[in-house]
Chain A
Amino acid sequence: MESKKYLNDLNEIKDLMNRSSRFISLSGLSGIMAGIYAVIGAVVTYIFLLPEPGTVLTLHSWNFRLIIAILLAVASLSIVTAYLLSSKKAKKNQEKIWGPTTKRLLVSFLVPLLTGGIYILIKLSSQHYGLTGSLMLIFYGLALINASKYTLSDVKYLGYAEIVLGLICAALPGYGFWFWVLGFGILHIIYGSLMYFKEVKA
């Protein structure tokens, strides 16, 4: 009888610690969607925009610009989807979408991500294309691990996977495109599905 009360106390402590410091309504479905957007973007790029074998992609060419546009479209669609689905889930959990936990989550996610983004742009502008895919994966992975302290802690496993993929990608030049598809497409779909099933079960 008594021990039941204490067990309740402990559970409540754990729940409050989580709810007060983490944004737990991150939607798994939005992970799946982000992966699908990335795969669609990659398919379009592969069919229409990749340069003929033997030629190189140059900065300021029309297809380079289109590839950048597709990247931005994939990124913004993913963000909008994540926002919409997570706010729906937050409403259900009676959690606020915009509060101290989400602010901390965003800052800890964006600092490594923007650092990487700017670094990649600097490298691109001096004609260093080679490591773009690898750098994107590595910095994205670091951003996820950093952000996992303020949201579902499972996010860190996705982060580790992205970093490993990014490092392998750096060791195998020429396959950047495929690693990008694997990291931003397939891994997101796998991670999102795992999270989604967890949500459904809970």
Chain B
Amino acid sequence: MGLIDNINKIFDHRIRLGIMSILMVNEQVDFNQLKELLNVTDGNLASHTKTLEKADYIIVEKSFIGRKPNTRYYSTKSGKEAFKKHIEALENLIKKQN
């Protein structure tokens, strides 16, 4: 089994990796916070959160604050574990190649 097998394809994208990093250190964030932190457009962000949601790495919660729709994101336990594994794989790859 090569080292590359531990690299998680889902996290092999800047924005999805970013979303997950933020959810590792924050209990929850809403759509607008993510948008600001990652500097992405609505549509772009939505498609990447969908991918993470499908993989069961994050939970999406939709609600209303007054009349404004508010979407919040949480990371799941399996998401956190997958992320940690991915980081370890990255670190190993860097160590091996240097």
Contact = CB atoms under 8 A, between A and B. Distances in A.
Interface of A: 2-3, 6-7, 9-10, 12-13, 16-17, 19-21, 96, 99-100
B interface residue count range (under 10 / 10 to 19 / 20 to 34 / 35 or more):
20 to 34
A10 B86 CA distance: 10
B93 A6 contact: yes
A195 B93 CA distance: 35
A110 to B, nearest CB: 20
Interface in B48-87: 87
A9 B90 contact: yes
Contact of B94 (A7, A17, A19, A20): A7
- Mostly, the A contact residues are helix
Contacts of B90: 6, 9-10
A20 B26 contact: yes
A160 B20 CA distance: 33
B45 interface: no
Most chain-B Cβ atoms within 10 A of its Cβ — which of A7, A16, A19, A20? A20
Interface of B: 14, 17-18, 21-22, 24-26, 29, 33, 36-38, 87, 90-91, 93-94, 97-98
Contact of A20 (B14, B37, B91, B93): B37
A12 B37 contact: no
B20 to A, nearest CB: 8
18 contacts: A2-B93, A3-B93, A6-B90, A9-B14, A9-B90, A10-B87, A10-B90, A12-B14, A12-B17, A12-B18, A12-B21, A13-B17, A13-B87, A17-B21, A17-B22, A20-B25, A99-B33, A100-B26
A16 B21 CA distance: 7
Contacts of A17: 21-22, 24-25
